Amino acid sequence: MNIVTLTLNPAFDIHCLGDNFEIKKESFFDITSKDAGGKGINVSRALSAFGIKSTAFIVVGSNNKDEYLSQLKDSNISIIDYCVNGSIRENITLHHNSNEETRISFRGFTISNSDQNAINQKIISLCNDNTILTITGSLPVGYSKDCLINLLISLRESGTKIIIDSKSFVIDDIIKIHPYLIKPNMDELATYTNTAISTKNEALEQLLKLKGISDYVLLSLGSMGAVLMANDNIYLCDAEEITPISTIGAGDSMIAGFISQINSNPEDKLKYAVAFGTAACLTKGTTPPSKIDINKLL
C-alpha cells in the first residue's frame, strides 16, 4: 500500500511559559519548546513508530524551511517538500496563570496559482490506484479549495483512497468528494449537522445523518473513545483510562491506527485507531505514540 500524507500548511508550534499575561502590559515568557508541526507529519510519524512506511509531502516557506526540515531529519519518515516564497507560519501558545493558555497564530506563506498547479501535479504523481492519501489540517492562504476538491474527486475516481480531517472542508465539500474516511470530533460533527451536541447519545444520533457521505466515518469522543460508522453498522470502542501527558497529535495518530489496519475488518480499524490515539496522549508534544504503548493498549 502506498501511503501519502499531505501537509499543505505546516507550522512551528512554539510553547512559552510565564507567570502572568495581561493585555496592554509587558509580559515575560520563556520558550519551552519549538516543534515542526503539521497534521500530515503527525500521521506519518505515528505510522513510522509502528513500522509502517509513508511519504510525507510538505509545502514549506523559503524563509524558514531549513529550520523546519532539520527538525524532521531524525523522524525516520520519507519527506518530499515543495518550496514557496514566504515563511512557514508560527503558532505561539502562552502558558500562564496556572492552567490558563493564550494562543497567537501568525499567517504563513501565500500560494500563487503557479505554485498550486505545481503542487497539484506533484500530488497526482505520488498517487496511484493503490494509494491512501490523507488531507489533514488547514489550507494555506491562496490555495483554491475548489481546485483541490476537483483534484481529489479525480484521484478518488482513479482508485485513490482519500482520508479527510480538515476544518477547511464543509459538509457540502465532503459530499462532493465522497472520501474513504472522515474523522470528525464532537464539535465538528455538530458543525456538520448544524445541531448542538453535548452527550455521547446525541453524538450517535447525529452521526447517522452522515451515513453515505464517505465509506467510513470515525467519530472521536476524546477520553470516551471513538465510534466507527461503516455502511449500515455502528461500532463503539471505549478508551483505556490514562493520565494524559499531552493530547497533541492524538487525532492524527487515530488516523494512523486506522490506516495500519486498512485491509482488516472494521472492528480492528477502530480498535487500532483508539489504541494509537490513546498512546499518543502518553508522550510529550509531537512525539509519536510508542509501539510498546500501542500494543499494551490493544
What is the spatial distance between Cα 166 and Cα 111, in angstroms, rounded to a whole number? 18
- pLDDT number for residue 157: 97
Over 90: is that where the pLDDT of 61 sits?
yes
Query: Cα separations (Å) of 31 from 17, 68, 248?
Result: 7, 17, 18
Q: pLDDT for 149-169, tens place per residue?
A: 999 999 999 999 999 999 999
180/287: higher pLDDT: 180
Q: Which three cell numbers stand for residue 39?
A: 497534521
Q: What is the pLDDT of residues 70-129, one digit of tens each?
A: 999 888 899 999 999 999 999 898 988 777 788 898 999 999 999 999 999 999 999 999
Phi/psi at 148 (nearest 5 deg)?
-65, -40
1-55 tens-digit pLDDT: 999 999 999 999 898 999 888 888 898 999 988 989 899 999 999 999 999 999 9
In what side-by-side order are the strands of the sheet with 55-61? 78-84, 55-61, 2-7, 131-136, 161-165, 181-182, 216-220, 226-230, 233-237
> For the residues of 141-163, what is the DSSP string, one character each?
BT--HHHHHHHHHHHHHTT-EEE
Q: Residue 28: name the closest of 101, 94, 90 by CA.
A: 94
pLDDT tens figures, 231-267: 889 999 999 999 888 888 899 999 999 999 999 999 9
pLDDT at 213: 95
DSSP 241: P
| Nearest CA-CA partner of 237 in 250, 247, 228, 246 | 228
**Residue in 61, 41, 173 with CA at minimum distance from that of residue 115:** 61
* pLDDT single digits (tens) 183-218: 999 999 999 999 999 888 999 999 999 999 999 999
pLDDT tens by residue, 113-144:
999 999 999 999 999 999 999 999 999 999 99
pLDDT of 188 reads 94
Half-sphere CA count of 292, side-chain side, radius 13 A: 2
pLDDT interval class at 285 (50, 70, 90)? confident
Query: What pLDDT score does 167 carry?
Result: 92
